[in-house]
Amino acid sequence: MSRTAFKSLLAVPAIAVMAMGAGVGVSAFPGTAMAADVAVASQGPVVELQVMQQVAGDPDKATVGAGVTTRAATAQAAMQQNAAEMDKVLKRLDSLGIDRDYVQTTGIRLNPQYDYRNGEQPRFTGYEASNTVSVELRDIDKVGDVLDALVAAGATNLSGPEWGIVDDSGARAQARKAAWEQSLAQARDYARMTGYRDVKLLTVSESMGFSAPVQERALMVQASAPAAKTPTRPGQVSTQVTLSTRFELVN
C-alpha cells in the first residue's frame, strides 16, 4: 500500500531585511504564463525568505543502467564485438517484456588503450568499446531479477537503481502548499516583530527537486555465484519544492 509522509526540510536558510526595495519582477509557477515584465514596487522594508518542503512516498519506478565493454586489437574489431554482445542484452530486455520506449541508449564510446609503466613510453594495447542503455522499470519488485538476467545475457556494466515516482504532481502540490503557508506565516512573524501590521507579496519563484533517501547501487554479479539473486530495497523517495519569496512589510 502506498504511503506518503509530509516533512519540512528547511525553514529559512537565508533571510535578508532591506530598507527599501526597487521595482521587481514576478515569476509565475511552472505551468502558468510567465509574468517577468510585471513589476511591483515596494515602499517599506522587504524580507526575503527561502523555504523548502518535501513529501515522501513509495516509488513506483526504477531506472537502471546496463552496458557492455569489450576490448580488441583494432577499433573495428572492438566495435563489432561490442555490437554483437550488446545485441544479446537488448534482445534479453525484449524477452523480459520491457517496452522499448523505456530503453534508451545513453552512451557509446571507443577509446585507445595504453599500458603505462614507470619510466617508459606508454605502449598501445588496443581499443576499448562500450555501449550503455538506461532502462526504466515500472515493476520495482522485479528489479533484482532484471539485473541478474542482463548479466546472464552478457552485460558487464550495471548502475543504479535510481528510484522514482511516475506521477508526483500530487506530492508537488502538497509540498508547494506547505512551503507557501510557511513562507507567509514567517513573513508575518517578521512584520509583527518589527512593528508592522502585515505583508505584501512582491515576488515568488519555485524550484523543484527529487531525492531518494535510500539509494542502493547494483554491483556487477560475479559468475562464480550464479545462484545468488540481487536483492533491492526501494525505501521511499522525496519530492521537494523550494519557494523563494520577497514580502514588503506594510502598516
Q: What is the pLDDT of residue 209?
A: 76
Confidence of residue 7 (pLDDT cuts 50, 70, 90): very low
* Residues 156-182 pLDDT 10s: 999 999 999 999 999 999 999 999 999
| Residues of the chain above pLDDT 90, percent | 70
Q: What is the pLDDT of residue 17?
A: 41
Q: Is residue 79 predicted with pLDDT exceeding 60?
A: yes
pTM score, whole prediction: 0.70
Cα–Cα distance, 82 to 192 (Å, whole number):
68
Domains and CATH numbers, the chain: 4-58+167-213+238-250 (no CATH), 61-164 (3.30.70.2970)
Tell me 120's DSSP state.
Answer: S
Cell 508537488, located at residue: 172
Tell me 60's DSSP state.
Answer: -
CA angle at residue 167 from 164 to 171, to 5 degrees? 85
Mean pLDDT (whole number) for 108-135: 94
**Which set of grid coordinates corresponds to residue 209?**
527537486
Cα–Cα distance, 47 to 16 (Å, whole number):
6
Q: Is residue 29 predicted with pLDDT exceeding 70?
A: no
Q: Residue 69 in 3-state DSSP?
A: strand
38 Cβ contact partners less than 8 Å away, ≥ 6 residues apart? 25, 26
**Which set of grid coordinates corresponds to residue 128?**
576499448
Cell 502540490, located at residue: 173
Confidence of residue 120 (pLDDT cuts 50, 70, 90): confident
Mean pLDDT (whole number) for 117-139: 93
Least confident range from 31-35, 103-107, 136-140: namely 31-35
Cα–Cα distance, 84 to 188 (Å, whole number):
66
